[in-house]
Amino acid sequence: MKSPSWEGLRPTSDRLRETLFNILGPSVRGARVLDGFAGTGAIGIEALSRGAAHVTFVENDPRAVELIEANLEALGLGRGSAREGEHAIIRAGFADVARRWPDGEFDLIVLDPPYADTALPDAIGAAHPLVTAGTRLIIEHATRHAPPAEQSGLRLQRTVKAGDSSLSFYEC
């Protein structure tokens, strides 16, 4: 997997990604996944490798979109591959995409917004229209920012801490 060569993109650590997928377990197989604030695409690519039916990558930075494309290509998942139809890349801000997307489309939504103090509640609010009774929302965030217990009808189920980063799991 290629990593960013510029400042400002913070890829999910291998340890945290492994923790996430150990928690999700077999629920990834056959799931429709949204990898928001996708960065390098590592979360979505891992979901594909674990049998996700489809991954939608949402990323605003054109350099990161090129990085996602290169990482997919390097793994034989790029354009022209037999698995090309298993993913889509949308170059846009997550909140803009969430406002326009039909609800109920995703089984898993994994977001990795910037570690700013308002990013966690902003990401939950933006994701709210996409989350239905069958959707799990997982947000990576700075451990120093406590996740809200409830917001926009979504309830915190669990938070897993790994150093400076945490994963918070929300459901309707």
Give the pLDDT confidence of 70-109 residue by residue, as tens digits.
999 988 887 776 677 899 999 999 999 999 987 678 999 9
- Residues of the chain with pLDDT below 50 are 4, 6
Tokens for 56, please give them. 């939608």
Task: Tally the C-alpha atoms within 13 A of residue 65's C-alpha that lie toward its C-beta.
Answer: 12
Q: Give the pair of three-digit tokens for residue 75.
A: 């793994």
Would you call 94 helix, strand, or coil by DSSP? helix
- What's the token pair of residue 17? 């990604």
Pairing of strands 87-91, 108-111: unpaired
pLDDT at 4: 47
Spell out the domains of the chain, with CATH numbers in brackets: 14-86+105-165 (3.40.50.150)
Question: Terminus-to-terminus CA distance in the chain, angstroms?
Answer: 34
Please tell me the pTM assigned to this model.
0.90
Q: Look-up: residue for tokens 């994963």?
A: 167
pLDDT value, residue 14: 81
H-state helical runs in 25-84: 42-49, 62-74
Query: Which 3 state secondary structure label does DSSP give 68?
Result: helix
User: What is the structure's pLDDT at 76?
Assistant: 85
Q: What dihedral do alpha carbons 74, 64, 8, 94 form, nearest 10°?
A: -130
Pairing of strands 154-162, 150-151: antiparallel
Q: 52 vs 19, 70, 87, 142, CA distance in Å?
A: 17, 20, 10, 27
Predicted pLDDT of residue 112: 93
Tally Cβ neighbours within 10 Å of residue 145: 16
Residue-level pLDDT at 116: 84
Residue (of 143, 134, 54, 125) closest to 90 by Cα position? 54
pLDDT score, position 2: 55
**8 Å CB contact between 117 and 85:** no
